[in-house]
Structure 1
Amino acid sequence: MLYISDNLKWLRSKRNLSQQEVADGMALPLDRYKKYEYGKNTPPAETLVIISRYYHISIDLLLTVDLRKISIDNLMQLDDNRIVLPITVDQDGNNLIEIIPHKAQAGYLSGYAETEYIENLQQIALPFLGLGKMRAFPINGDSMPPHTNKSFVVGKYVDNLGEIKQNKTYIFITFSEGITYKRLGNKNDDSVTVISDNIIYSPYEIKLSDILEIWEYVCHIGRDDAKLLPTESDSVKEMFLELKRDIHEIKLKK
């Protein structure tokens, strides 16, 4: 679902501007701008760039996030004034990783832009990962060894499609498949080719228009050890806390 028309109305009203004032500010004909705001037409790429620069908001947010339901004041602003996803920190200033549990992954496509959905996710801090917007996603199947079924991969949010690199692994959030973890093959003008590390699976293409989010792989949490496998009633947070304690003990022994 694209939110561009609703976002244009909301952003204009937030600044108390008329349609004519916004159209003039973007150097667009008023009739053309009205069609974008009324949802009759979707702005082409060059116009999205103009809108993004006018409001200082990234194109991905303009298209895929309902800005009426989040606080722009709490969003992180980059040097070029693009706005990306909110970053929350703990009392020590460490970035918090939001965990998408297996039981909640089905609702991610409809809830990833909903403030209530994100706020209800469990969070942990892994300071050694450094800065960036992090999120942990569940892995299903055997297509990406050594990551086993039901383990988690932690990804860093990719704000710019130009940042993704061949042969690196990413979590792709798509309309058609939901959460997909794959290695990047070729990158074309309108699609990317993704590859499974398990050779029994064939590479395939994902259209850029099908992609909602991209997260660059930074680490994974394995669950091979039976004692770490939680039941449905166990907390995923407890699993991460146990891992954190293990890491701390290893550091002390060095």
Structure 2
Amino acid sequence: MSQIGNNIKKLRNVKGLSQQAFADLFGLTRGNISSYEELRAEPKIEIMLQIAKYFSIPIAELLEKQLTVNEILNFEDYFPVESVSEDGGSFAKIPFLDREYFRQYDPVGQPIEKRPIIHFPLDSNNKFLAVENSSFIPHPVGFAFEEHMILFFEQVTVDILHTLGDHFGYFDGDTPFFGRYELAGKDIALVLNDWKKEVYGAETASHFWKLFGKFERVM
């Protein structure tokens, strides 16, 4: 039996997408997604291919295996570093903030645009940022990512505001930190702890990022 319906539901939950939001990505209806997840129907092959490409998951894995949260978030198994060409080809060019960037952090003297670039296969027009997890970056309770793991973040846009609730994110302002998004009515905040949070607004929107995935080198 195909696992496409189970995996669509898992993808939605991991990425924080409602059935309608997921449907909108692929020109479908909420009813389509509901029927897939309830195993009453399966998407056409062209839709399956679009889903696999959008989430950077091999089509065979999407169809034949019940994906875990770690597999959805972890790019390692699918895109080994040595497979990336020197010039990046059609791969996305993502600024990389390593631990040295944060060791003596200076937001004025270290503009993100001047950072080294990681070439990575992401099929999206949105901006992305790669950050090496380290002890130099404050993080909230429950932030279960190990040192040196590279975390990929998608810049928050109006289109994904509704997906932020209870998801991890990164704030790259004067005092960078990892936090968890909290939604209260129309108010959105990235929360580090009881004493530190940043409220999303028009003036600060470019500083907010949502966790998209992780890269973990297996030694």
- Shorter-normalised TM range: 0.3 to 0.5
Larger RCO (CA within 8 A; separation ≥ 6): 2
TM-score where L is the length of structure 1: 0.39
Q: Which structure has more helix as a fraction of its residues?
A: 1
Structure of larger gyration radius: 1
